[in-house]
Amino acid sequence: MEATSHAFKDNVRRAIVDPGLQKALGMMKTGFQARRLAAIEKLPEFEQLRDVGRDIKNHVLENLDFYLERFERKVTEAGGHVHWCRTAEEARETILGLCRKACAKTVTKGKSMIAEEIALNDFLEEKGIEPVETDLGEYIIQLRREPPSHIIAPAVHLNKEDVIAAFHKSHTHLDPGRPMDDPHMLLDEARAVLRPKFLAADVGITGANFMIAETGSTIIVTNEGNGDLTQILPKMHIVLASLEKLVPTFEDAATILRLLARSATGQEFSVYTTVSTGPRRPGDLDGPEEFHVVLLDNGRTDILGTEFQDMLRCIRCAACLNHCPVYATVGGHAYGWVYPGPMGAVLTPTLIGIEAAGHLPNASTFCGRCESVCPMRIPLPKMMRHWREHEFERHLAPMAVRSGLALWAWLAKRPGLYRAVTGLAARVLGLLGRAHGRYGWLPLASGWTGGRDFPAPEGRTFMSQWRRRSGG
Amino acid sequence: MPAASPRVGLFVTCLVDLMRPSVGFAAVKLLEAAGCRVEVPASQTCCGQPAYNSGDRRDARDIARAVVAAFAGFDYVVAPSGSCAGMIHEHYPALFADEPETLAKARELAGRTHELVSFLVDVLKVERVDSAYSGVATYHDSCSGLRELKVKAQPRRLLASVAGLSLKELPGAEICCGFGGTFCVKYPEISERMAADKAEDVRATGADMLLAGDLGCLMNMAGKLQRDGSAIRVRHVAEVLAGMTETPPIGEPGG
Amino acid sequence: MSDARSQILGSIRRALRRDALPADKAAALEARLGDPQPNLIPARARGGAEAVVELFVQMAGNVQTTFSRVKSPRDVPGAVAEYLAGQNLPAAFAMAPDPELDAVPWAERPTLSIRRGRTEGTDQVSVTGAFAAVAETGTLMLTSGPSHPSTLNFLPETHIVVLPAGKVVGAYEDAWARLRAARDGTLPRTVNFVTGPSRTGDIEQRILMGAHGPRRLHVVLIEG
């Protein structure tokens, strides 16, 4: 997709006055948080599991080359194929080649953020292959031709009315007067429309929540079952996964699985956790005849060994989005690329460049809620701060901010002068603001006073009063 | 173990110094009432957080180095702010990772630096305060204090001992108010919307007073409530705990 | 592609500031893979045989799995017939060609119409066995193979699983250990962990049942 992260501020202005979006965000705010809390309260070991999960991922990252080679060997032994791809383009071409080999006309897809990252749908369409998203949320936004706004709830920015409109427009073979006001009817309609697509697809493409080095297996986690129909019905199953999804053993995956659903949707476990190892076996009555893993780097190895390495522990649960007050205010599309919210604020600059995504790590109050809920204990605010350091060093921060801060820092390093200036400011602002106690407008502070009053200072600084009190 | 009469260096914080000195004096009163000898190093300015959070590591280090020097030798360093105390406690050591000598000093300073209310409760074992306020208050948990320093139960515990005061819990008390330091002027639309959500939650409690432990958040929330015409008074928690409510609430004109 | 492979491995090693792992370290990692150890297992998953069965029933029930509890395989046909009648479903289903299911005396219920094999999507109801069940979250573990086509787990609207209580274990790791022990070092093509019927929350966060997979998941638990 075309990134609009550079226009974050414009995106924000639109998002804030979009009543439909604000209504949808209002609905998501409390649900995810309450459900997560309820789920983890039932598992006393949750905090310990976070430590174990973090350590597993760190161990993998330190030995990533070893585990990748081992994973490849096991996939091959199970009759599958691993395709190593450095870039989005290589991955797209690889997938196209596989689809052509399978003479594919239609491809069903399970929800995959990596597929969004490499803009796979547009590419396949251009090449004359019809990609069909099968996750309900992904299907809805595919009909609307828009990107997901959330990494696990792609249509969370929409209301029921938007879904009704999209189905009306796209499902033209159905009676236009059919009743649609109950969400169950919408679900039944999507199920009925998608079922023949599942049965007719030539290739199924899914992502992977985990890859297991021990066995060469991949794991997907879903609630709808769409990912399973995607992989068992067509003759070819392609797994598209970025290389940091690796864990050593099933036991390691189980530990992280205990964290994943609870952090994501607040379920104790997702409905379907599917472990796939190679293609159909002799005697099997169903399942794909070919099993391919497209293993994507796309910038991951550039992050490895840097101050952003911890980000590679991310399991895409979206807890950070679900608890971010900024995300809750502006929604996912404002972030302007595939990954929104705190994890996106760290990851997006690594993937599309800090020049294009500079706003994202800045648009955080550092309230720290993301880190406090991250199951993999990723220090998200710290890494956003690292991005700000990169921007500062490269003079990418806005001039007004830079010069204002520079002046402040210059003063803060000169206590005598600082006292004189702050003393004067306190007196002037205190005096002028005394009658009302606050300012409705202040020069150079329209950002603040646009929507808020600014309290007037009391009039004399603490330090000057203290000096007098202690006779200094 | 606290000494019989610990020597405490008060880190006033730049916002309290400039905007609301009465919070500083309330802090002094609370600390002295708890048996501390309070001193205020004259060379202090700011903790350096604005520079640090803006990616300006060099200025942040310079300022931090001055704070480390200014507060050498005290038994404790106390700030009426979870944000500034958190900066010293959590982030100073990270600033000097490659400067072993200052790192040791920064770590040592971090170890004896506390947010005011948690210092009173956790270190000085203060169980009640001698003050009175007649009304219903609600309390917002400022983010840094809450998540970096685990300030949560301590203010509620002391507020429970204020005669005449009843505390009504604020729904979403742990959600950021939208201040975020320079965030509030860099992204004013988002900041203001967050402040508006907070103001709505505050109004819904029916409380007549909003309290918190960080002046930045308080100014933001007071500014939003007052712009909306709300009569809810806004104060730093230390003012109420110290029984120093003669100063007009934040953003209100003097008598 | 081998070029991409060596470049990716090369950049990993550069990032980690080392060459390929030395033999001793690689051997240690191979040993870790060769003898996989469980990490932290929650206390709730460590009950005795009876406790895990009760926990399984409770946890699965929490996620809308329904149960018939019977004493012996002889009772299974009756339980299935009764369940189908109760749901107003036809007494016909596609059944996994599973020797364990064949041992059930289906003929004693001649009203049941049974077809053995995979499903192409036209069957309303399927009946399968299960490899194991995991109590900690009420999760069934289904393994694909000639005796268990995985289409049966997903295409029909109603999925009935016949489960002897002895197959219930506490934790995922326990189930996986059983699977390893039951096989010669290879895995089935698919292992499906199923926790309740299919659902989605994609329309206004409301949980709706029966998204693409079964709308109903019913377990006939044999406790004899």
Answer whether residue C207 is part of any domain.
yes
Alpha-carbon gap, residue A325 to B196, rounded angstroms? 12
* C148 and C98 share one domain: yes
Q: How many CB pairs under 8 A join A and B?
A: 216
Range of the domain at A407: 399-469
Interchain contact, B251 vs A438, CB within 8 Å: yes
Interchain contact, B183 vs A463, CB within 8 Å: no
At A461, give phi and psi (nearest 5°): -70, 160
Q: Which residue has the tokens 């509890």?
A: C69
Angle of helix A250-264 relative to helix C172-182, nearest 10 degrees, comes to: 150
Confidence of residue B3 (pLDDT cuts 50, 70, 90): low
Answer whether residue A316 is part of any domain.
no
Interchain contact, B44 vs A415, CB within 8 Å: yes
What does CATH list as the number for B7-122? Answer: 3.40.50
CATH label of the domain that carries residue A253: 3.40.50.10420
Confidence of residue A30 (pLDDT cuts 50, 70, 90): confident
- The minimum CA-CA distance between C67 and chain A, rounded to whole Å, is 17
Interchain contact, A225 vs C212, CB within 8 Å: yes
Chains A and C, touching by 3 or more CB pairs within 8 angstroms: yes
Given a contact as 3+ CB pairs under 8 Å, which chains touch B? Answer: A
Helix (H, G, I), strand (E, B) or coil at C142: strand
Tell me which of 3.40.50.11810, 3.40.50.300, 3.40.190.10, 3.30.70.1450 is the CATH number of domain B128-241: 3.40.50.11810
Residue A452 has pLDDT above 60, yes or no: yes
Interchain contact, A426 vs B18, CB within 8 Å: yes
Q: Domains in chain A: how many in total? A: 2
* C11 and C110 share one domain: no
Contact A90, A114 (CB under 8 A): no
pLDDT in tens, A132-147: 999 999 999 999 999 9
Helix (H, G, I), strand (E, B) or coil at A224: coil
Alpha-carbon gap, residue A155 to A149, rounded angstroms? 6
Q: Domains in chain C: how many in total? A: 2
* C11 and C57 share one domain: no
Give the dihedral sign, CA A227/A232/A235/A236: positive
Identify the CA nearest to A151 among candidates A161, A162, A165, A141. A141
* C129 and C212 share one domain: yes
Identify the CA nearest to B234 among candidates B143, B151, B170. B170
Alpha-carbon gap, residue A216 to A72, rounded angstroms? 7
CB proximity list for C112: less than 8 A, separation 6 or greater: C77, C80, C81, C91, C92, C93, C106
For the record, the structure tokens of A458 come out as: 């009391």
* A232 and A104 share one domain: yes
pLDDT of residue C1: 46
Q: Which residue has the tokens 């104790």?
A: A268
* A426 and A282 share one domain: no
Identify the CA nearest to C166 among candidates C42, C46, C56. C56
- The minimum CA-CA distance between A269 and chain B, rounded to whole Å, is 27
* C69 and C12 share one domain: no
Answer whether residue A384 is part of any domain.
no
Answer whether residue C193 is part of any domain.
yes
CATH label of the domain that carries residue C56: 3.40.50.10420
Given a contact as 3+ CB pairs under 8 Å, which chains touch A? Answer: B, C
Whether ipTM exceeds 0.85: yes
Which residues on chain C are in Cβ contact (under 8 Å) with A274? 190-193
Task: Among A411, A456, A462, select the one facing B24 at the smallest CB separation.
Answer: A462
Interchain contact, C63 vs A191, CB within 8 Å: no
Chain A residue with CA closest to B250: the answer is: A455
Q: How far apart are the first and last CA of chain A?
A: 64
| B74: amino acid identity, one letter | F
**Domain final position from A301, A320, A345:** A301
> Global pTM?
0.96
pLDDT in tens, C138-168: 999 999 999 999 999 999 999 999 999 999 9
- Mean pLDDT for B143-161 is 98
Task: Among B21, B175, B251, select the one facing A461 at the smallest CB separation.
Answer: B21
* A166 and A291 share one domain: yes
* C114 and C185 share one domain: yes
Answer whether residue A236 is part of any domain.
yes
Task: Among B48, B178, B192, select the one facing A365 at the smallest CB separation.
Answer: B178
- The minimum CA-CA distance between C9 and chain A, rounded to whole Å, is 6
**Domain final position from A269, A301, A333:** A301
Interchain contact, A458 vs B43, CB within 8 Å: no
Task: Extract the residue ranges of chain C whose pLDDT is less than 50.
Answer: 1
Domain boundaries, chain B: 7-122, 128-241
* C115 and C146 share one domain: yes
pLDDT of residue C166: 97
pLDDT in tens, B56-113: 999 999 999 999 999 999 999 999 999 999 999 999 999 999 999 999 999 999 999 9
Cβ neighbours, 10 Å, residue A113: 16
pLDDT in tens, A359-395: 999 999 999 999 999 999 999 999 999 999 999 999 8
Identify the CA nearest to A321 among candidates A156, A137, A209. A156
Answer whether residue A284 is part of any domain.
yes
In the beta sheet, which residues pair with residue A273?
Answer: A221, C193
- The minimum CA-CA distance between B147 and chain A, rounded to whole Å, is 7
For the record, the structure tokens of C85 come out as: 């009648």
**Which range is most confident: A31-35, A400-404, C129-133?**
C129-133
Alpha-carbon gap, residue C97 to C99, rounded angstroms? 7
Range of the domain at C216: 47-222
Helix (H, G, I), strand (E, B) or coil at B133: strand
Chains B and A, touching by 3 or more CB pairs within 8 angstroms: yes
* C183 and C137 share one domain: yes
Which residues on chain C are in Cβ contact (under 8 Å) with A293? none
